[in-house]
Structure 1
Amino acid sequence: MDSPRFSRRLLLSVLSVLTLASLTTGPASGSEPAPAAAPAAVTFADDFDGPAGSAVDGGKWQIETGDNVNNHERQYYTAGNRNAALDGQGHLVITARRENPDNYQCWYGRCEYTAARLNTAGKFTQTYGHVEARLKVPRGQGMWPAFWMLGNDIGQVGWPNSGEIDVMENVGFEPSTVHGTLHGPGYSGSGGIGAGYTLPGGQAFADAFHTFAVDWAPDSVTWSVDGNVYQRRTPADLGGKQWVFNKPFFLILNLAVGGYWPGDPDGSTVFPQQLVVDHVRVSTSDSPGTGRAITGLGGKCVDVAGANSANGTAVQLYDCNSTAAQQWSVGTDGTIRALGKCLDVTSGGTADGTTVQLWDCNGSAAQRWSVSAAHDIVNPQANKCLDATGNSSANGTRLQIWTCTGAANQKWTV
Structure 2
Amino acid sequence: MHFIVFKMKKLVLFLLIIILFSNFISASLGISPATVEINFVPEAEHILRFSITTDNPTGELEIFLDGDFKEYASLSKTKLVGSGIIELEIKFPGAVDKPGIHKIMIGAKSSSSGEGVFGTVIDVRVPINIFVPYPGRYIEGRLNLPDGNVGEKIPVELQVINRGKEDLIVNIYIDFVEETGEVINRMTFEQAQITTTAEKYFREYLNTSDFRPGNYLARAIIDYGEITEINRTFRIGSLFVEIVNFTEELPKGGIKRYHIDIESKWNNNLGEVFADVNLSKDSESIVFRTPSVELEAWGKETLEGFLDTEDLEGEYSVTITLHYKDQKNSVSGVLLIKRSNFNMIIWFSLSVILLLMVIFILLRRKKSILTNKSKKKDEKK
User: Normalising by structure 1, what TM-score?
Assistant: 0.19
TM-score (norm 2): 0.20
* Larger RCO: 1 or 2 (CA < 8 Å, sep 6+): 1
Q: Which has the higher helix share?
A: 2
